[in-house]
Structure 1
Amino acid sequence: MRGVLNLKSEFLVHCQKEKEGEEYVCPEGTQGNGNFADPATCRRFYQCVDGYPYLNRCPSGLYFDDINKYCTFKAEARCGPIATTPAPITEAPTDLATKCDLAECQLPYCFCSKDGTLIPGGLDPEDTPQMIMLTFDGAVNLNNFDLYKKVFNGKLRNPNGCPIRGTFFLSHEYSNYAMVQSLAHNGHEIATGTISQQQGLQDKGYEEWAGEMIGMREILRKFANVSRSEIVGARAPFLKPGRNTQFKVLEDFGYIYDSSVGVPPLPIPVWPYTLDYKIAHECKSGTCPTKSFPGLWEVPFNAHYVETFEGGHCPYLDQCVLHNHDSNEVFEWLQEDFTRYYDQNRAPYMMPFHTNWFQIKELEQGLHKFLQWASNLKDVWFVTVTQALTWMTDPRPAKLLNNYEAWRCDKKDLPPAPCNISNKCALSFKHPDTNFSDTRYMETCSECPNQYPWLGDSGGTGIPGKDNYIPENLKRK
């Protein structure tokens, strides 16, 4: 009898497995390849390859967003399956930017191309330096500072002998400003995220955007000793640009570039471009600018992916599902993704990360193998975003770059070295959404403020609403 029961239970398990395999059917036709939501849970998704579904789980702490088709933070993820409908029109199509006019758009002040894939200066790919831009989002603190220092340990060098550098898009909460000052002193680029990383900022007005981004720039000036003139780039929270409003703030307050616009997976990657004309690719977020912002650069997020779509496609590298891979597989995945740039139009290869990537040893080790391999390739340069854009305004062949002024490492006007012993500030903080105060800790080489800096009070004076940001062009009137 027991044998019959065992056979029966094995039969039931077998049927259940068959049923689970049959539960998900990939869409037919050309739409059958790609990533699709698991109807049962937001933690998983199906990757369809030639009509066959492979079940994948999002990295720890992330959830599958069925609109953007990648794993992201829980508060951001829109669980599926979601029926595909055209995105709502959020702004009246008045004064829209016009299509790229190559006759009118001339470097160094303007750059565009019909599909975004053109190399500036008309250079051939083999004469074009392959730039790699390492970018890091969020707070810098004890959780990640030493991990970032391992990437920039001085061993990897560019063809001119300079150590490789990165760009940090800083958000305020939990940032250690003595560490940020150390990064700036070592030649890394400091750019702004936002103070609060709030959800829904894309729908807010001019004052909110100025408070978040210009306030963040002021915090970096006061507590990390990085001057305003050095902070020229910005990135919107969750890659949701603020339509025309955010870009008006960046234009008014003297920023050189934004890096928030996502590009869908394309066979040929897109180069950065100025916002003089209409964006030449689909806007992934649906909240891109529709007006012209002459001379303001956009450094877009080309989607990361491999030909089989193994691991999915993602704007941030830590949103691709590589956590089940060993370090060699991660290295090979990055190699294939990078080669799409190197073997084609050599658009700058941006490698954007959150701290998440460095918490998984296989991902960290795979990255180090990739960086070592890439640094040995001919004509590969690791540059900051501003260095990449400086080259784009005056493109010159790769063979002439060893003495290129903008990429040298002997700058004398870097931010001062951080102090030996930083001030550890225990500060009162009352979040606007709560009725109670708690204590926040902040480290800086500057004096401790009266209370935790926040929106409206970037100096931490304790006077709510003290900040009032007025663009320079209005101050003169």
Structure 2
Amino acid sequence: MFKFFALLLAVSAIALAAPNQKSTREASACDTSACSLPSCRCLGTDVPGGLDPSEIPQLVLLTFDDAITALNYDTYFEPLFFDRTNPDGCVVQSTHFMSHEYTDYSKVQQLHAHGQEIALHSITHEPYIDYWNNLDVEGYIGEFGGERELVAHFANIPAEDIQGARVPLLQLAGDTYFEAFDTADLGYDCSWPTQSYMDPPLWPYTLDYLSNQDCPIGTCPKQSYPGRWIQPMVNWLDTSGYVCSMVDSCVFAPTETSEILEWIKTNFNRHYLSNRAPFGFYVHAAWFQRNANNLEAYSQFLDYLATLNDVYIVSVQRALEWVKNPQPLSSLSNVWPSCPNTYTATCNARSCPLSKGAELRYMMQCRNSCPNVYPWLHNPLGN
């Protein structure tokens, strides 16, 4: 029986996405005869395509929240990911749910150029639960649709490559948030923890129909959002049996490298040895600074995964490509005919001194000229 203490810590987590077309249809129970891949999937722990777990890849999702800085890039992201490959020879991927403040947009482009996924975590990243609970649809569109415009512009990357979102503090705001998510035409949300679907873990699904997923944080949506995907945040268990959605919010976690590694493997095996639903390692880069052993154990875990020829470390977008077109390990080229796109970054980084209230910010970005004012909510280009 899973304990519920960690719900009190959920505020030290992260959040979600934005919208495209206003839904006016109340969601009904999922009709399996009408909901089929690649555009629709009912909520469930069953393996997509009816495949046996032993014949499919175990997909691993490594995500990070908050600002992308030169320090995080140079110290963690480049050393951890750029020289590792999956069994098919393609680069391993991470997904970065980035917030705007303190981000170095030249590093955003470099991550994107190395095949890593860039996703949204809001412009303001307000730290107050009430802000997200009381925000209206237009506010959410500004936070996430506006951030997509901001990131694409100042990192000089295609807006269509930015498909995912996570709400700060994981504060789902029900239909208010998902109406904005739909209107902003985002592809998937990854801010929705589950403790009811941990063993076996929950697979991704769409919001065409009413979701039966538990909402331990925030409010569940009730309307239908066809084709909008949920990558559920399947909770971990800490060493005392309490649930946690973000790894750095786990209260009773080991501190020695070998014990941290075994703890990670225990949570991984709940996926790998059952239905092989995507295994999420959701964390903030600050977790590495908290204890040097965390970084060492993380690196050793990646080394361990490299010894398993049926494990693929991919972006959330690439994982969803498999869910939409499930294939056995022997036919993965039918899902992924090529490796993630990589290229040589061309950002000529420019540091822009800009006032944000009484503070002076130095915004590192990739445009030839600086914005007139510090980019912010409802003025994402700083005009």
Aligned to 2:236, the other structure's residue is in SS state coil
Residues 71/233 of structure 1: CA separation in 2 closer, same or farther (3 Å cut) = closer
- The equivalent position to 1:217 in structure 2, one of 139, 145, 148, is 148
Aligned to 1:442, the other structure's residue is in SS state strand
Matched, 1:400 2:327: no
- The equivalent position to 2:341 in structure 1, one of 407, 411, 416, is 411
Amino acid at match of 1:422: A
TM-score where L is the length of structure 1: 0.73
- The equivalent position to 1:120 in structure 2, one of 41, 44, 48, is 48
In structure 2, the partner of 1:454 is: 376
Cα distance in 2 between the residues matched to 1:311 and 1:319:
13
Matched, 1:333 2:263: yes
Aligned to 2:352, the other structure's residue is in SS state strand
Aligned to 1:441, the other structure's residue is in SS state strand
In structure 2, the partner of 1:50 is: none
What whole-Å deviation, never above 9, does each CA across 1:54-102 have from its counterpart, x for those lacking one? xxxxxxxxxxx6xx1436549x9xxxxxxxxxxxxxxxxx964222221
In structure 2, the partner of 1:289 is: 221
Runs (5+) with no aligned partner, structure 1 = 1-29, 37-64, 77-93, 431-436, 462-477
Shift of 1:300: 0.9
Cα distance in 1 between the residues matched to 2:35 and 2:183:
22
- State which structure, 1 or 2, has the greater radius of gyration over its C-alpha atoms: 1
Query: Which is worse superposed, 359-368 or 277-286?
Result: 277-286
Query: Which is worse superposed, 444-453 or 95-104?
Result: 95-104
Aligned to 1:409, the other structure's residue is in SS state coil
In structure 2, the partner of 1:97 is: 27
Amino acid at match of 1:333: W
- The equivalent position to 1:440 in structure 2, one of 348, 361, 366, is 361
Aligned to 1:274, the other structure's residue is in SS state strand
In structure 1, the partner of 2:350 is: 423
Matched, 1:268 2:200: yes
Amino acid at match of 1:232: Q
In structure 1, the partner of 2:240 is: 310
Residues 72/210 of structure 1: CA separation in 2 closer, same or farther (3 Å cut) = closer
Residues 262/73 of structure 1: CA separation in 2 closer, same or farther (3 Å cut) = closer
In structure 1, the partner of 2:92 is: 164
In structure 2, the partner of 1:6 is: none
Aligned to 1:352, the other structure's residue is in SS state strand
- The equivalent position to 2:249 in structure 1, one of 309, 319, 323, is 319
Cα distance in 2 between the residues matched to 1:131 and 1:310:
26
- The equivalent position to 2:232 in structure 1, one of 294, 300, 308, is 300
In structure 1, the partner of 2:20 is: none
Contact 2:10-2:169 at 8 Å conserved across structures: no
In structure 2, the partner of 1:149 is: 78
In structure 1, the partner of 2:18 is: none
Query: Which is worse superposed, 285-294 or 184-193?
Result: 285-294
Amino acid at match of 2:244: C
Residues 353/72 of structure 1: CA separation in 2 closer, same or farther (3 Å cut) = same
Aligned to 1:220, the other structure's residue is in SS state helix
Instruction: Name which structure has the greater RCO, CA cutoff 8 Å, separation 6+.
Output: 2
Contact 1:236-1:242 at 8 Å conserved across structures: no
Amino acid at match of 1:371: L
Aligned to 1:406, the other structure's residue is in SS state coil
In structure 2, the partner of 1:183 is: 111
Cα distance in 2 between the residues matched to 1:238 and 1:227:
27
Runs (5+) with no aligned partner, structure 2 = 16-23
In structure 2, the partner of 1:139 is: 67
In structure 2, the partner of 1:238 is: 169
Amino acid at match of 1:318: D
Shift of 1:323: 5.6
In structure 2, the partner of 1:377 is: 308
Residues 152/407 of structure 1: CA separation in 2 closer, same or farther (3 Å cut) = farther
